[in-house]
Each structure stands twice: as structure tokens, then as C-alpha cells.
Amino acid sequence: MIAVLVVAFCVATALLLVWPQQGMPARVDAIVMLNGPGDRLGTALELGWERRAPVLVISRGSSYFGQGSTCGPPMPGVKVICFDPNPATTQGEAEFIGRLASRYHWRTVALVTITPQITPGRIWLGRCLPPGTTVYAVAAPLRALQWPSLLFHEWGSIINAEVFHRGC
């Protein structure tokens, strides 16, 4: 019985956190970057410079971005919005992004984060975005040594979202 549970946990980890569905169409309404480890900012800025969306939203909500950091550089044809979520969590980021999506009537969003945070990010955004909004995901590079602790952390985020905080 324990072996079955271990196998089920490993399969769930692989599907939800190691190999979640990724990709985006040529254009979306907005690119949104969740803050944290990995080269998220580089990935988000690259998509912005490619003009894959008219809006680029950058979360500066943790120590990864640095205190007093400025927003991303101005980009012709792309509105860059930087924010400090309250609380400085994926839930706080999703709440802010949800308000922007409602205000600007976004129907498609490209989520830029690291691979292990794609599923938790989709859960939180799915609760806060207007009904019918499609969330795509683009994974930023992540150093191999960061994976073990982040898998543990993101399982905690999924449990928190599914058990303790069911709303936006």
C-alpha cells in the first residue's frame, strides 16, 4: 500500500510540477511574470521585446527582485506595469493580476514563471481572472540545484490553494 502511495505521489509530482503543460500562441493580451527564482525577468522581457502582447506585467513582490528596484525598461508598443503584491505571495500576485485583467478585458494571459510554479500559478490565476480567460505558461530557466526545495515549496502552495484558501 505504501509503495502505491509513493508511486502515485511521484507520478503527480511529475505531471504537476516537473512536466506541466507549457507554451503560448504568437500573441496574447498580456504577459504576466510571477516573482521568484530563475530567470523570469529575462524571459518576460524577451517576450515583451518580441511584442508578444501589448502589456507586460512584472511582480516585484519578493527578495528576488530587490528592494527599491525599478520597473523593466520602456518598450515601444508595450505597456510595462510593475507592482508589489500584497501579500507578497502567488495569491497576492493573482489578486492584482485579476483586477488588471478585469479592467483591461484580457481574454488570454501568458504566465512567466519557473516550471514547478506553473501549476500553482494556474490554480491561483484561474480563481482570480475573469471567467473564460485562458492562461498559457512559459517556463523561465532554473538552476538544477534549486529544483528539490522548489518542488517541496510548490507542493505546499498547491495544498494551501486547494485546502486552506479556496477563493481568489
**13 vs 70, higher pLDDT:** 13
Which whole-number Å values give the CA distances from 3 to 8, 12, 13, 18, in the listed order?
A: 9, 14, 15, 21
Which CATH number is correct for 2-164, 3.90.550, 3.40.1000, 3.40.50, 3.30.160? 3.40.50
pTM: 0.92
Sheet (strand 134-140) strand order: 79-83, 55-59, 30-33, 108-114, 134-140
Q: pLDDT tens-digit profile of 117-152?
A: 999 999 999 999 999 999 999 999 999 999 999 999
The string of pLDDT tens digits covering residues 1-32 is 899 998 999 999 999 999 999 999 999 999 99
User: For the chain, which residues make up each domain, given as ranges?
Assistant: 2-164
Could you give the residue ranges of the DSSP H alpha helices within 50-160?
90-104, 118-128, 147-159
Q: Residue 24 is inside which H or E element, if any?
A: none
